[in-house]
């Protein structure tokens, strides 16, 4: 029988009392190694497999995230509501400042969507040109509003008169300068980006800045034409959500999967009812129904004017119907302000048409695969996300007011404009003398005043 060779290891003997060098282990060594007991060997192998894992950092649950977002969203909602009403009560100039900030921030967010940082680093003039377009457009639109509503101030000022009479030409020159600068900076390899940016900027100017210009004009015509449309859009959005989560079942449009037909129709009904209540409150205050004649006015000082007839009660009678008894034809009548009927139409637009401004914004975000236009309002996304329906609503309110409600009568500013821009200096003096004579005959001026004016004019010639 051959002897086993030294130094050869056998796998079936590894559990015995044999050391790794081939010698037999002592009792103490075997006890320490635990190889004498299969149970101890198994426990040791199990313990070796267990490794101490580092503690994972605590992760906030979805509930905590939603709770934090809800708190942030609620806080900034109250901040916006408080700021809005503070500006509303402080006066027209503060509302105009808010509109200006909103349109600048919204323009910035929309322009940022199509920006390509790598291209803009190579074409540094692109970003500057975008802001130049914005500034020149705002100069044109703001100037149009100031000249239209404050002719009696602008046209009598020696410095502002040339700017007012040549305003449109100056605005055109500013645009041409930007156009020439754009063409002069076209570079090969970047043409598609540059022309895309050019078109995108002009679209943003039209959809945001131009429509915001109409909202500003609504403020000048009377705060009710600004506050009522804004409130109706917000009300419609709230009730569309409440009715939708309550009874909503049918999807309205694929661009906004959470919008339902039931919420859409239900919000229309509630918005019309809210319009009647809010209108009834607003027409009681001349601060809301009077056009701007003092930019320093506020809720405490108020405004004074002759109210537009739409704010005055009117009695409506049923038209004569031959097939009804005569007594019924004479007895059926009711009295209300015409503005109530106009508010129903404005509420209908706010419910059925204005939401499509939001759908348009949703489609735009889906195109660029973004959730929000920005993060300028914590918890709410960007400014454009909150104002997407307001721009088209303000534009409609302006068009509707000037088509069906505004009184087409000559005012002081229009007469001043015609006299200053359409008459020669000699004709203006004759007009002055004629008005002075008329006022003297009416008893508004004394004979000595008219005589002094005649002598003063004669000495100047």
Q: Which H helix or E strand runs over 397?
A: helix 383-400
Helix, strand or coil, per DSSP, at residue 126: helix
Examine the domain organization and report whether 206 and 141 are in the same domain: yes
Examine the domain organization and report whether 297 and 343 are in the same domain: yes
Helix, strand or coil, per DSSP, at residue 205: helix
Examine the domain organization and report whether 378 and 261 are in the same domain: yes
Query: What per-residue confidence (pLDDT) applies to 86?
Result: 95
Examine the domain organization and report whether 456 and 333 are in the same domain: no
Query: What per-residue confidence (pLDDT) applies to 51?
Result: 53
Gap between the Cα atoms of 264 and 236, Å rounded = 9
Over residues 191-216, mean pLDDT: 92
Considering only CA atoms, give the Rg of the chain: 38
Query: What per-residue confidence (pLDDT) applies to 43?
Result: 52
More confident residue, 22 or 395: 395
Over residues 316-333, mean pLDDT: 69
Does position 33 have pLDDT exceeding 50, yes or no? Answer: no
Query: What per-residue confidence (pLDDT) applies to 29?
Result: 47
354 with 397: CB under 8 angstroms? no
pLDDT digits (tens, 9 = 90+) for 259-309: 899 999 999 999 999 999 999 999 999 999 999 888 888 999 989 999 999
Examine the domain organization and report whether 136 and 208 are in the same domain: yes
Count of helix runs (H) and strand runs (E) in the chain:
21, 4
Closest by CA to 178, choosing from 137, 141, 207, 117, is 137
| CB neighbour burial string for 314-337, b if at least 16 within 10 angstroms, e if fewer | eeeeeeeeeeeeeeeeeeeeeeeb
- pLDDT class of 1 with cuts at 50, 70, 90: very low
Q: Which H helix or E strand runs over 426?
A: helix 425-441
446 with 437: CB under 8 angstroms? no
Query: What per-residue confidence (pLDDT) applies to 346?
Result: 97
Q: Which H helix or E strand runs over 79?
A: helix 62-90
Examine the domain organization and report whether 261 and 371 are in the same domain: yes
Alpha helices by DSSP H, 185-223: 191-204, 211-221
**74 lies in a domain?**
no
Examine the domain organization and report whether 107 and 212 are in the same domain: yes
Examine the domain organization and report whether 178 and 272 are in the same domain: yes
User: 380 burial class (0-12, 13-18, 19+ CB within 10 angstroms)?
Assistant: middle
Number of domains, the chain? 2
**23 lies in a domain?**
no
Parallel, antiparallel, or unpaired: how do β-strands 314-317 and 256-260 relate? unpaired
Examine the domain organization and report whether 431 and 356 are in the same domain: no
Tokens of 314: 């009117």
**43 lies in a domain?**
no
**Boundaries of domain holding 300:** 89-405
**117 lies in a domain?**
yes
**26 lies in a domain?**
no
Examine the domain organization and report whether 136 and 209 are in the same domain: yes
Closest by CA to 346, choosing from 281, 268, 409, 245, is 268
Of 360, 375, 405, which one is at a domain's C-terminal end?
Answer: 405
The partner residues of 315 in beta bridges, in order of sequence, read 335
Residues of the chain above pLDDT 90, percent? 44
Closest by CA to 263, choosing from 231, 232, 239, is 239
**9 lies in a domain?**
no
pLDDT digits (tens, 9 = 90+) for 246-255: 998 898 888 8
Examine the domain organization and report whether 396 and 323 are in the same domain: yes
Query: What per-residue confidence (pLDDT) applies to 409?
Result: 64
Gap between the Cα atoms of 384 and 365, Å rounded = 11
Residues of the chain above pLDDT 70, percent? 80
Over residues 432-456, mean pLDDT: 76
**264 lies in a domain?**
yes
The model's pTM: 0.76
**201 lies in a domain?**
yes
Q: At what angle do helices 425-441 and 447-460 cross, to 10 degrees?
A: 170
pLDDT digits (tens, 9 = 90+) for 110-136: 998 877 666 666 777 888 899 999 999
Around Cβ 158, how many Cβ atoms within 10 Å?
6
pLDDT digits (tens, 9 = 90+) for 351-398: 999 999 999 998 988 888 888 888 888 878 889 988 989 999 999 999
**Among 28-42, 78-92, 150-164, 172-186, the least confident range:** 28-42
Over residues 165-189, mean pLDDT: 93
Q: What is the DSSP letter of 190?
A: -
- What does each C-alpha distance from 417 to 38, 152, 154, 168, 439 come to in angstroms? 111, 8, 10, 15, 21
Gap between the Cα atoms of 17 and 23, Å rounded = 9
**Among 168-177, 221-230, 244-253, the least confident range:** 244-253
Examine the domain organization and report whether 218 and 291 are in the same domain: yes
Indicate the average pLDDT of the chain: 82
């Amino acid at each position: 029988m051959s002897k086993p060779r030294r130094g050869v290891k056998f796998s079936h003997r590894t559990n015995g009392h044999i050391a790794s060098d081939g010698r037999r282990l002592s009792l103490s060594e075997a006890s320490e190694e635990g190889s004498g007991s299969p149970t101890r060997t198994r426990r040791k192998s199990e313990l070796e497999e267990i490794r101490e894992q580092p503690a994972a950092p605590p992760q906030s649950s979805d509930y905590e995230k939603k709770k934090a977002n809800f708190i942030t969203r609620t806080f900034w909602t109250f901040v916006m509501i408080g700021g809005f009403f503070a500006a509303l009560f402080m006066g027209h100039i503060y509302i105009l400042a808010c509109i200006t900030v909103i349109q600048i921030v919204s323009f910035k967010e929309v322009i940022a969507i199509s920006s390509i940082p790598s291209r803009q680093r190579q074409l540094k003039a692109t970003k500057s040109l975008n802001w130049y377009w914005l500034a020149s457009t705002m100069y044109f639109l703001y100037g149009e509003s100031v000249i239209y509503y404050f002719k009696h101030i602008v046209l009598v000022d020696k410095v502002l008169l040339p700017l007012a009479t040549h305003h449109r030409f100056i605005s055109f020159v500013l645009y041409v300068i930007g156009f020439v600068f754009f063409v002069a900076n076209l570079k090969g390899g970047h043409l598609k980006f540059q022309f895309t940016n050019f078109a995108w900027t002009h679209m943003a100017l039209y959809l945001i800045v131009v429509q915001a210009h109409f909202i500003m004009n609504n403020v000048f015509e009377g705060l009710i034409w600004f506050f009522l449309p804004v409130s109706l859009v917000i009300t419609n959005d709230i009730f569309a959500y409440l009715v939708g989560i309550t009874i909503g079942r049918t999807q309205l449009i694929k661009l906004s999967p959470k919008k339902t037909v039931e919420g859409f129709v239900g919000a229309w009904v509630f918005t019309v009812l809210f319009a009647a209540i809010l209108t009834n409150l607003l027409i009681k205050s001349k601060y809301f129904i009077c056009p701007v004649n003092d930019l320093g006015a506020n809720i405490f000082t108020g405004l004074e004017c002759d109210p537009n007839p739409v704010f005055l009660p009117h009695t409506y009678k049923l038209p004569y119907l031959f097939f009804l008894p005569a007594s019924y034809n004479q007895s059926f009548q009711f009295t209300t302000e015409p503005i109530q009927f106009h508010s129903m139409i404005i509420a209908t637009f706010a419910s059925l048409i204005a939401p499509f401004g939001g759908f348009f914004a949703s489609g735009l975000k889906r195109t660029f695969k973004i959730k929000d236009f920005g993060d300028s309002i914590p918890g709410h996304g960007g400014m454009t996300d909150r104002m997407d329906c307001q721009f088209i609503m303000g534009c409609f309110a302006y068009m509707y007011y000037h088509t069906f409600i505004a009184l087409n009568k000559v005012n002081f500013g229009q007469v001043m404009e015609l006299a200053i821009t359409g008459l020669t200096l000699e004709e203006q003096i004759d007009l002055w003398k004629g008005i002075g004579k008329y006022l003297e005959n009416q008893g508004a001026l004394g004979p000595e005043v008219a005589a002094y004016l005649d002598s003063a004019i004669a000495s100047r010639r």
